[in-house]
Every structure is written in C-alpha cells, then in structure tokens.
Structure 1
Amino acid sequence: MTLRKAKKIYLENYAGAIVESLNWLFQFALALSAFYFIALLKNIFKFSEYPNVSEWLKIGLFIFELIIIFWYLYKALNNPGLFRNIDSKLKLVQHIISEEKNNEQLAVTEKVYSEELLKLKKYMTEEKPFLNPSLTIQDISDAIEIPVRDLSILINHKLEQHFYDFVNTYRIERAMDILKDVTKSKVTVLEILYEVGFNSKSSFNTAFKKQTGNTPTSYRKNL
C-alpha cells in the first residue's frame, strides 16, 4: 500500500527520473519475500527427517543473498535517481479535494481554474519546460506563480491526467514534430527522446505508443 501511494504521488507531482523506477521497489520486496520464505523452509527441514535439504537451502540462501546485494548495487550505480526522495509533504489529490470540501475558504472557483489553465498551457507552449527531464510540479508552480496545491488539482483532477502524463503529452507532440521534419530524418529515435525530455527509451516508447498507437520507429516509417 505504501509503495502504491508513493507511486501515485510521484505520478501526480513529477515528470522525470522514470516512473518505472519505482518498480524496482516492488521487485526488491518480492525478492526479500522469497528470501524469507526459503529461510523458513530451511528451518522446517532442519528439524525434519531431511536435514540435508536444510543444508542445501542454506547454500542457496547464501547465493541468493549475494545476487540481491549485487543487483541492489547495480541499480544504485546505474540509476541514482531511483533513490531520490519524494517530498514527504506532498498529498494525494483526492485528499486535497476532501480538504477543500470541508473548508469552503480553500475552495477555488471554476473561473479561477479556467484562468489558471490558460496560463499553464501558455507557459507549456511558449517556455517548453517539459524539455527538462527532471521537471516537477513545484518547478511549474514557481514559474507561473500558482500554488502547487491548486496546480495539482487543476492537472490531476480537472484535466483528469497525472502530472507525469500531462508533461509527457507535450514531450510526445514535440517528438512527433521532429519525426515529421524531413530535415531531421537522420536524427535517431534515441537522440530525439533525450532532446524532448525523456531519459529512458522504454518510458519514451511506452508514452509514445500510448498517445499515438504506434512506436516512434513505425510512426516515422508510416509518414
């Protein structure tokens, strides 16, 4: 539950460092669960009629432990962004909305949201902050002077998009423009994904296919 909440908060407030990075936490939790399960079996067999099985499981646990340690180090060295903290003060949008309902003074009118939406879209189009691979909702909030709380409700609730998907929409549109540009036919997909703000080929392909129904390569071929 905690990991799911963290991932949802990430989606609502961040647009970089690969959201898939949180998957490693689930993988790590599963690996630890498997480790403790094998350890339990080892102790059961130790006091059974098959003590030899316990010894084999003991060796297996040692090897498994080494694999987990090396895997963890590999992740840490190759993806330092995985261990970046999420602001503990951030709240889920659904909780913010509940607070609004209980406090009329906090409520923002639809007219204000419409004005803020125009301001947000103008900023995204003209300043292109989405090109920053580490963009956060706080960055945009500071730039257009709209409180993070209101901006989060505007994007995640009013537009019914996670901030992550909202930003990626602009990134994909920019990527599509580059793919359509005949003068940039020599530019590789890898170069494009970095240019538009992505830092992972898998996340770029996933977002591109989600928005267009095609992979970047097939999209370019079908032009």
Structure 2
Amino acid sequence: MLIHLIQILIFSSFIFLSFLMMSNPLKVNKKANKWFGVFLFLWASFWVDEILILTKANPLSEISTLLISFFQFFTPIILYLSIVFFTNPNYKFRIKDFLFLVLPIAYLILLIISIITPVNIDSILVFTLILHALIFTTLSYLKIRKHQHQINLFSSNTIEIDLKWLEYIVLGIIFIAISITVFNFVYFGLPLNLYINIIMLGGAFFVAYHALRQKEIFPLNEKHREEIIALEDDERLVDIPKRKIIKDEDLVVLKTKLNVLIKNKELYLNHEINLASLSEEMNITSHQLSYIINNGFNQNFFQFINEYRVEKAKTLLMDKSSDNLSILGIAYESGFSSKTAFNTTFKKFTNQTPSEFKKHSSGL
C-alpha cells in the first residue's frame, strides 16, 4: 500500500539525515547540528511501530514502549536546544534549564500510571504530549524570530544565516500538532494517517535540502565570533540608540571617520564584513559602532553596509564597460555573497530587481 511505502521512506530518511547531521560533513554549526541530528532521530522513532508491523517483527514489550514514548517526549525540547545552539554556539546550560524536565517527568508518571492501573488516561497523555509540543515549538519560533532581528544589527549578509528553513519546520510542526488535535476530536482513521505521513515525507525532503546547504552563522574568526555572540546575547543591544554612549560632538567626528574609511578602503566589498570586524578597523567597541550607525545614520548595520553595496551595483549596472558581467558577476563585484542575496537586498532598497533597474537605466 502507498501509506506503507511512505512510512518506510519517512523512517529511513530521518534516520539517514540524523546520521548526516551528527557526523556534520560540512563542519558548520557543529553543536547545533549534533542536537538537530538527535531531534531527527527522535522524530524517526515515531514510525518504529509501523516499521515493526511491516517487517513482521515481534511487538515491543510494555517497558520498551514506555521508554520509547518517554524519550519521544523530548523531541520538541531537543529541537529547541538545537535552535538555541544555532543562535548561540557558546551557550552554557544553567540551573534554570532543568525546568525543561518538569513536563517529561510528569509525562513519565502518567505513562507508568497507564500501565499499572486499569484507568484509561490516553486522552490526558495525548493532551500533555500536544501541549508540550506547542510550548516548545512556540519557544523555538520566538527564538528564531529574535535571531532574525539581531543579525541585522551585526551582519551584512543575513539571507543564508537567518534560519528561515528552521522557522518553516517549526511552523509546520505547530500546524501538524493543531491538525492532529482537531482530527482526534472529530475523526481518526486512514485519511488522517495518510495526510500526516505525506506532509512528513515532504518535510524530510525539505530538511534534507536546507540542512545540507547550511552556512556557518557566526564568523570563523574566534575573536569576532565571541564578540558577536556576546552582542546577540546582550538584551541591551536593541536599546543602544536610546542610551547616549558617545557625546554628540564625538559622534559627528566618528561618523565622518566611518564614512571615509568605508569609501576609501571599500570595506563593503568584503561579503564577510561584520560589526566586530568593522569596529576593529575603527579602533572602537562594537557597542560604540552600533551607536554611531544607529544614531549617526539612522540605520542598522545591515542597512548601512548594503546601501554602499547597492550604490556600487547601480554604478556597475549603468556602466557600459560592465556589460560583460552577468548579474551574478555584478553581485560579487558589489560585495554580495550570492545572487539571491543581491536580488533580495537590491529590491529592498530600490523597489526594483537588478535586471529591471538595468533595463530601465539603458532606456534612459
């Protein structure tokens, strides 16, 4: 049957992806990918019963089933922890993190009660499982959204490090959790199983495509990496424009110095430039540089650097001597790391794609 084939594909896909993430052949986001690999392994375990039936193996004992159910309960927590390490590879566990164990322990107690007593508490188990999933997927979503905001404050190329693919996975899990809840109240049968499994198979391919195209989120330079992680973890960073950390007269001088440095050295052409590396060029702290950009130019770091890049790209697009360059070539010449980043950022600044701008300019 079709559903059996899909179940086999899902289980094998997630097991294989789990191995790839934990072995991490690309050597990027190492801690995060190890946790993400564990998440995928636990995700695959939800199809163990189906695989045992299909292979005609002996069913699991009650104790084995209890243990597997208990470890499966950690799936949303492990996903959340992987996202924590994607957004902060230097994260250290704290005492308050043990609060994550409260619901799993409660769930384990409920599982034991369901085995040793005749009372049917299946509905309570399902409710606890879904509530737990919704709590941690919501926390995961909020963590990603915060990261997407913070990277604009210190990174000039954000598209490949904004964890958008993980955001889609989290939203998909929330959607599936809500769907299962609704269907459990009104109907249960093959159509639900087939529907959910088809979505899961699509999810496996989606994860494979994006997980294997990851880029290192934080700079390879250890000093810059630590400084940026400290900045992203600093809740006060978003309040820098409101706090006067540089005198107004000094701000004018530093603003001019920054403009001259950027233009003369064309630092914006380095697609790996970040707040920490630029502050090093300026011989000031990252907090001070952020203040200058926010208060002196009324921009964040992403906007500040990419405005120079877009102006450079516009010059090249209008220059007849650059006609031999492709759009990708112009992107690289302007400091962008990819064609996607170039098109997206260029349109954000000009309301036109590079091709549309070039066509319009040539018609003038």
- Equivalent residue in structure 2 for 1:29, among 170, 183, 187: 170
Partner of 1:84: 217
Contact 1:17 / 1:199 at 8 angstroms: preserved in 2? no
Partner of 1:61: 196
Q: Could you give the per-residue CA deviations for residues 111-152 of structure 1, whole angstroms, max 9, x where no partner exists?
A: 111111112111111111211222211110111211100101
CA distance in structure 1 between the aligned counterparts of 2:296 and 2:180, rounded to whole angstroms = 49
- Equivalent residue in structure 1 for 2:240, among 96, 99, 116: 96
- Equivalent residue in structure 1 for 2:354, among 189, 205, 216: 216
Higher Cα Rg, which structure: 2
Matched, 1:143 2:284: no
Task: Count matched residues.
Answer: 209
CA distance in structure 2 between the aligned counterparts of 1:94 and 1:41, rounded to whole angstroms = 39
Could you tell me how far 1:17 is from its partner in structure 2? 4.3
For structure 2, list consecutive stretches of 5 or more residues without a partner in the other structure. Answer: 1-141, 219-224
Describe how 1:143-162 pairs up with structure 2 within 5 A. 143-162=281-300
SS in 2 for 1:89: helix
Amino acid at match of 1:209: K
Contact 1:15 / 1:168 at 8 angstroms: preserved in 2? yes
Describe how 1:168-179 pairs up with structure 2 within 5 A. 168-179=306-317
Partner of 2:209: 74
Return the TM-score normalized by structure 1.
0.82
Could you tell me how far 1:93 is from its partner in structure 2? 3.8
Q: Could you give the per-residue CA deviations for residues 30-88 of structure 1, whole angstroms, max 9, x where no partner exists?
A: 1111121222234334xxxx54xx3321232222222212211211112x12x625844
CA distance in structure 2 between the aligned counterparts of 1:168 and 1:33, rounded to whole angstroms = 34
SS in 2 for 1:2: helix
Return the TM-score normalized by structure 2.
0.52
SS in 1 for 2:209: helix
Partner of 1:2: 143
Contact 1:20 / 1:203 at 8 angstroms: preserved in 2? no
Contact 1:113 / 1:154 at 8 angstroms: preserved in 2? yes
Describe how 1:32-51 pairs up with structure 2 within 5 A. 32-45=173-186, 50-51=187-188
RMSD: 2.4
Partner of 1:129: 267
For structure 1, list consecutive stretches of 5 or more residues without a partner in the other structure. Answer: 102-106
Contact 2:151 / 2:162 at 8 angstroms: preserved in 1? no
How many percent of aligned residue pairs carry the same amino acid?
27
Structure 1 residues 212, 95: closer, same or farther in 2, change over 3 A? closer
